[in-house]
Amino acid sequence: MAGTLRRLVRVRDLSIGGGAAVSVQSMTKTATSNVSATVAQIRELEAAGCDLVRVGVPDLAAARALGEIKSQIGIPLVADIHFDHRLALEAIAQGVDKLRLNPGNLQDPLKIKAVVEAAAQARIPIRVGVNCGSLPHEVRARYGVQLSSTEGSARALVEAALTHIKLLEDLGFEAIVVSLKSFDVPSTIRAYEIMAAERDYPLHIGITEAGVPPAASVRSAVGIGALLSRGLGDTVRVSLTADPVEEVRVAIEVLRSLNLRAGGVTLISCPTCARCHTDLQPIAAEVERRLRPLDRRLRQARRDLRVAVMGCEVNGPGEAREVDVGVAAGPKSAALFVGGEIVGHIPPAKIADALVAEVERLVAEP
């Protein structure tokens, strides 16, 4: 569905575009110069399924911490830099795997050239990331009131990105990833459509400044899902005013919803209704929580496992039979299904234990 026609860009051993699997990224919320806090957060993101991580580099202390951070993590490290080309040069010297910057913000052509040459020599790509909130003044002035329309703001985003991209292309640099983000979902979708017709660089997608979950998760899922369904999107970042681990969880669920992410546990649970005689909500929540460590192992093994927690005998047996492990609760006990067969009946208080035990057994199988 996604990424098949875009150019391939490599970030260390991770492929973006060229038909590669859509990757998930996030951004740390710690002070980058605080190495131990930043590494701890990156490790949490890595454990949650993050494929590459970006850190903000607001000053030289942050830039100088990058090598130490990189030496302690397993996923590619992206440095997010604005305005000061010395930070970009230091980040490259520290061994980062990718830069996010807008060359136009560096102003001086000689400074842009220095950064681009250093990136080319280090064989690292650059993401040109344009946000509606930081459009160049001249683009903002030219579009004026049109910025309030979907088409106008989309075209302004693309124009700003193309201006930055051209600075790189004129220097012969084409290891480029592009993002065009807005809070407004229709403008974002339209901007990526226009950009996809202009250039074949891989697309980093997301809805920026989406807000606080759950509203932000829904907004992100709608925007990212719509883009991916159009074949637009090679790497995803969900932006939430929340723990970044939640960003990764939402991104992975969006990809799984579109069958774009292999490996892991998918939990199917019914919403419950008057037919349900079991307090299913805490059971489903407990199962979800206890399956997370197994989810990581399955992701790494690219193995899929589906688990169902169903509240009654109407849809319950059908769903529970279709998955690897499932329960269909009844008035007094729940039928436990493994591989489509009933293997026993369990009291409601033991549902979570029984499900998790069966999943652990299946995961342990070769």
Provide the minimum distance between the beta carbon of 323 and ligand SF4 in the complex, in angstroms, as a whole number. Answer: 13
Tell me the DSSP string of 229-267: HTT--SEEE---SS-HHHHHHHHHHHHHHTT---SEEEE
Q: CB of 347: closest distance to ligand SF4 in angstroms?
A: 18
Nearest CA to 317 among 327, 325, 307? 327
Give the binding site for ligand SF4 (CB under 6 A): 270-273, 275-276, 310-312, 314-316
Write down the residue that tokens 């700003």 correspond to.
160
Nearer to ligand SF4, 40 or 273 (CB): 273
The rounded distance, in Å, linking the Cα atoms of 52 and 97 is 9
d(CA 130, CA 222): 20
Report, in Å, the least distance between residue 310 CB and ligand SF4: 5
- Smaller CB separation from ligand SF4, 27 or 308: 308
As a whole number of angstroms, the distance between CA 276 and CA 49 comes to 34
Q: How far is the CB of 313 from ligand SF4 (least distance, A)?
A: 7
Tokens for 364? 């342990």
Shortest Å, Cβ 295 to ligand SF4:
23
Name the pairing type of β-strands 235-237 and 23-27: parallel
Residue count (the chain): 366
**Min. distance of Cβ 328 from ligand SF4 in angstroms?**
8
| Least Cβ distance, residue 185 to ligand SF4 (angstroms) | 30
Between 66 and 270, whose beta carbon lies closer to ligand SF4? Answer: 270
Rounded (10°) angle between helices 85-93 and 109-122: 10
Q: Coil, strand or helix: which one is 311?
A: coil
Complex with ligand SF4: residue 44 or 313, whichever CB lies closer: 313
Taken in order 274, 278, 279, 280, is the CA torsion positive or negative? negative
Token pair for 157: 């985003």
CA distance linking residue 74 with residue 324, whole number of Å: 31
> Is the Cβ of residue 279 or residue 353 nearer to ligand SF4 in the bound state?
279
Nearest distance in Å: CB 314, ligand SF4 = 4
Cβ closer to ligand SF4: 130 or 312?
Answer: 312
Structure tokens that stand for 49 in this block: 């399924």
C-beta closer to ligand SF4: residue 256 or 275: 275
User: Which are the contacts of 349, defined by CB distance < 8 A and separation ≥ 6?
Assistant: none
Residue with structure tokens 């729940």? Answer: 334
Cis amide leading into 214 (omega within 30) = yes
Residue with smaller CB distance to ligand SF4, 292 or 332: 332
Q: Give the residues across from 305 on adjacent strands.
A: 265
